[in-house]
Amino acid sequence: MKHIKDVNLKGKRVLMRVDFNVPTDENGNITDDTRIRKSLPTMQKLINDGAKTILMSHLGRPKGEFDEKYSLKNVAKRISEVIGKEVLFTQSLLGEEVTNMVNNMKDGDVMLLENIRFYKGETDGDMEFAKELAKLGDAYVNNAFGTVHRNHASVALLAELFPNDHYFGFLMEREVENLSYLLGNPERPFTAIIGGSKISGKIDVLENLIPKVDNMIIGGGMRYTFTKALGGKIGNSIHEDDKLEVALDLVEKMKKHNVNLYLPIDCIVVDQFSNDANTQLVKGDEIPDNWEAVDCGPKSVELFRDVILKSKTILWNGPMGVFEMPNFAKGTFGVAKAVAEATQNGAFSVAGGGDSISALQQLDMMDKMSFVSTGGGAMLEFLSGIELPGLKHMK
Ligand code: ADP
Ligand code: MG
CA distance 66 to 220: 40
> Is 35 one of the catalytic residues?
yes
- CA proximity to 110, closest of 18, 218, 188: 18
pLDDT for residue 1: 65
pLDDT for residue 2: 78
- Predicted TM-score (pTM) of this structure: 0.94
CA–centroid distance, 80 to ligand 2, in Å, is 30
**Ligand index nearest the alpha carbon of residue 219:** 1
Domains plus CATH for the chain? 4-172 (3.40.50.1260), 184-382 (3.40.50.1260)
Atom of ligand 1 nearest to the CA of 294: 23
> Is 354 one of the catalytic residues?
yes
Mean pLDDT of successive 10-residue segments in the chain (395 residues)? 88 98 92 94 98 97 96 98 97 97 98 98 98 98 96 97 96 96 97 96 97 98 98 98 98 98 98 98 98 98 98 98 98 98 98 95 97 93 96 89
Ligand 1 pocket test, candidate residues 234, 263, 295, 322, most atoms within 8 A of CB: 322
Point out which residues pair with 112 in neighbouring strands.
55, 89
pLDDT for residue 40: 97
CA–centroid distance, 173 to ligand 1, in Å, is 28
Atom of ligand 1 nearest to the CA of 322: 16
pLDDT for residue 17: 98
pLDDT for residue 395: 82
**Catalytic entry in 198, 233, 299, 305:** 198
CA–centroid distance, 191 to ligand 1, in Å, is 19
The contacts of residue 338 (CB under 8 Å, 6+ apart) are 301, 304, 305, 308, 309
